[in-house]
Amino acid sequence: MSAVVSLRDVHKRFGQVEVLRGVTLDIAAGEVVAVIGRSGSGKSTALRCINRLEVIQSGTIEVCGHAVHDPALDLRVLRQDVGMVFQSYNLFPHLTVAENITLAPRRVKRTPRAEARSLAEEALARVGLSDKIDAYPEQLSGGQQQRVAIARSLAMHPKVMLFDEVTSALDPHLTGEVLKVMEGLARGGMTMIVVTHEMGFARRVADRVIFMHTGLVWETGPGQMLAAPQTPELKDFLAADL
Amino acid sequence: MGSFTLNHVLYLLQGAAWTVVLTALAFLLGGVAGFGVMVLRTSRSRIVRRASLLWVQAIQGTPLLILLFVVYFGLGVVGIELPPLLAAAVSLMVYSSAFLGEIWRGCVEAVPRTQTEAAECLALSRWQVLFDVVLPQAARIAVPPTVGFFVQVLKNTSLASVVGFVELTRASQVINNSLFQPFLVFGLAGCLYFALCYPLSRWSRRLERKLNVGRRQPA
Ligand SMILES: Nc1ncnc2c1ncn2[C@@H]1O[C@H](COP(=O)(O)OP(=O)(O)OP(=O)(O)O)[C@@H](O)[C@H]1O
Ligand SMILES: [Mg+2]
């Protein structure tokens, strides 16, 4: 099996608190995985360990052939292959949409200005925001900002994309436009790990759903598993969610 | 006792010009050193952060006058003779480095950590994150306190008179020694200091107001 992301017995502690207690996980190229679970179950932490925003205490993490657990790894090499989108968008407020998107290609990949501009146009077209290329983030709605954040990540042509509750800060009527963009990416063959509370998205779009509980992968299966949970914990979680 | 003439006024104005030169030097040198201190104070290495904090606390706990004596007389003893202007400029650089370093560290740390994370996730290097993402946002809020600090520095340049540098304060002392009209002479010197500082203070306060009003909420 050709895993693009592979975690082996990953342990992560914050001080005394063990947040990940032996997470093992393989994600294949082109696979879309939805990660669900209660608040505090370690979903964000697991995601952040994958591109080493957090350092793990033991276990191994391989991403696109990079040994993430290896302290000698060049993070900039890893992060060219891994895109990440946050709940709070985190666009750069002092830069226009175009500048937000072209910053990394220009600085990291030394893409010439004109070429970077067409890269931005292309990425914005994919998220349906071509007309906002010269706007500033504060002039956009939350949903539009989040789509720009996705475009910014796409412009680096990542092999894997991580999404951490990217619609949680949005009004329900703005959630749909972001989910649609993500669905498009999924159909386009992007490898995606999506931490989400959107059960509809998990059911419809994800190839696989992972239910995390108390720092462990508790239950995993295709989207249909949400209709027939095996463990009482998942049953409780789904009941509480309704 | 002579009378106050146009020559005296010109001498005072010349002193005021040197005060401005000294302040500008302190701004340039202190700005560079302060930037260095800011970088060290926000380093990832705890040892570097601790060591630079020690520097900051040592300087902030030392009167500027003592710094001047150390640089001018102290270095003189070990054979490094600095002209008064240079000695004063170096002292003010050391002094400003600690204060500006801390002011700017605060501004850099006021930029949300999530901005740095987002930039790091785009594979930018530490310096690229600093220069392209953090500093442009920190600079906005750094201007008012920085200008405010240099109003203080401008007034503190008067201490350079003790090592014999003829800036505004020393110039007024020299004139008063021959005329003995302290109210007139020092009053004039005070007015000149005020004329230099007031526009800066006004500007700093206006920037601060603009910043508070101009902080628009994201849509
Ligand atoms: N930087 C940190 N320092 C200390 N504790 C942390 C830190 N980050 C997370 N934790 C703790 O780790 C646990 C798991 O957090 P995590 O953010 O991974 O949960 P989550 O599953 O993403 O929850 P949510 O649905 O609320 O986002 C929580 O108890 C949290 O308090
Ligand atoms: Mg979370």
Predicted confidence (pLDDT) per residue in B180-191, tens digit: 999 999 999 999
Q: Is the pLDDT of residue A107 over 70?
A: yes
The mean pLDDT of chain B is 91
- Alpha carbons A234 and A211: distance in angstroms, whole number: 7
Ligand number, closest to the Cα atom of A38? 1
- Number of domains into which chain A is organized: 1
Nearest CB among B124, B140, B219 relative to A108 is that of B124
Question: What distance in angstroms lies between residue B157's CA and the mean position of ligand 2's atoms?
Answer: 53
Residue A225: pLDDT band (50, 70, 90) is: confident
Tokens of B126: 């530490």
Q: Tell which residue, A39, A30, A25, A51, has the closest CA to residue A219.
A: A25
pLDDT value of residue A240: 83
Ligand 1 atom 17: residue of nearest CA: A44
Tokens of A41: 């179950």
Q: Is the pLDDT of residue A48 over 90?
A: yes
Nearest CB among A88, A139, A153 relative to B219 is that of A139
Residue B37: pLDDT band (50, 70, 90) is: very high
Which residues surround ligand 1 with Cβ inside 6 Å?
A 14, 19, 37, 39-45
Contact (CB<8Å) A103/B122:
yes
Nearest CB among B114, B132, B216 relative to A86 is that of B114
The mean pLDDT of chain A is 93
Amino acid at position A186, single letter = A
Tokens of B176: 């008063």
- Alpha carbons A26 and A226: distance in angstroms, whole number: 20
Ligand number, closest to the Cα atom of A36? 1
Instruction: For residue A108, give the chain B residue with the closest CA.
Output: B124
Q: In chain B, what are the domains?
A: 6-215 (1.10.3720.10)
Ligand 1 atom 4: residue of nearest CA: A14
Question: Which residues, including other chains, have CB under 8 Å from residue A96's CB and lie 6 or more apart?
Answer: A133, A134, A135, A136
Q: Is the pLDDT of residue B209 over 90?
A: no
Q: What is the ipTM of this complex?
A: 0.92
Q: Is the dihedral of CA A163, A165, A166, A167 positive or negative?
A: positive
Q: Is the pLDDT of residue A196 over 90?
A: yes
Mean pLDDT within B7-26: 94
pLDDT value of residue B18: 95
Convert the pLDDT of each residue in A153-170 to its tens digit.
Answer: 999 999 999 999 999 988
Residue B125 touches partner A, C-beta closer than 8 Å: yes
**Over pLDDT 70: what percentage of chain A?**
99
Contact (CB<8Å) B133/A82:
no
Mean pLDDT within A44-55: 95
Q: Determine the atom of ligand 1 nearest the C-alpha atom of A195.
A: 22
| Residues in a beta bridge with A10 | A23
Contact (CB<8Å) A79/B133:
no
Nearest CB among A90, A103, A145 relative to B132 is that of A103
Residue B123 touches partner A, C-beta closer than 8 Å: yes
DSSP secondary structure letter of residue B163: G
Structural domain span for residue A16: 3-241
Residue B217 touches partner A, C-beta closer than 8 Å: yes
pLDDT value of residue B219: 36
Q: Is the pLDDT of residue A1 over 60?
A: no
Give the Å distances, CA to CA, from A72 to A13, A84, A104, A173, A240. 21, 22, 23, 45, 43
CATH number at residue A38: 3.40.50.300
| Residues in a beta bridge with A34 | A194, A209
Q: Is the pLDDT of residue B216 over 70?
A: no
Among A50, A94, A140, which would you mutate to test the B interface (most chain B Cβ atoms within 10 Å of its Cβ)?
A94
pLDDT value of residue A24: 94
Give the N- to C-terminal CA distance of chain B in Å, as an integer: 71
Convert the pLDDT of each residue in A120-161 to its tens digit.
Answer: 999 999 999 999 999 999 999 999 999 999 999 999 999 999
Convert the pLDDT of each residue in B135-181 to its tens digit.
Answer: 999 988 898 999 999 999 999 999 999 988 999 999 999 999 998 99
Question: What distance in angstroms lies between residue A11's CA and the mean position of ligand 2's atoms?
Answer: 17
Three-class DSSP labels, chain A:
CCEEEEEEEEEEEECCEEEEEEEEEEEECCCEEEEEECCCCCHHHHHHHHCCCCCCCEEEEEECCEECCCCCCCHHHHHHHEEEECCCCCCCCCCCHHHHHHHHHHHHCCCCHHHHHHHHHHHHHHCCCHHHCCCCHHHCCHHHHHHHHHHHHHCCCCCEEEEECCCCCCCHHHHHHHHHHHHHHHHCCCEEEEECCCHHHHHHHCCEEEEEECCEEEEEECHHHHCCCCCHHHHHHHHHHC
Q: Is the dihedral of CA A188, A191, A196, A200 positive or negative?
A: positive
Question: Which residues, including other chains, have CB under 8 Å from residue B70's CB and lie 6 or more apart?
Answer: B91
Pairing of strands A3-14, A17-28: antiparallel
Q: What's the pTM?
A: 0.88
| Residues in a beta bridge with A82 | A160
Contact (CB<8Å) B123/A76:
yes
Tokens of A208: 């696989």
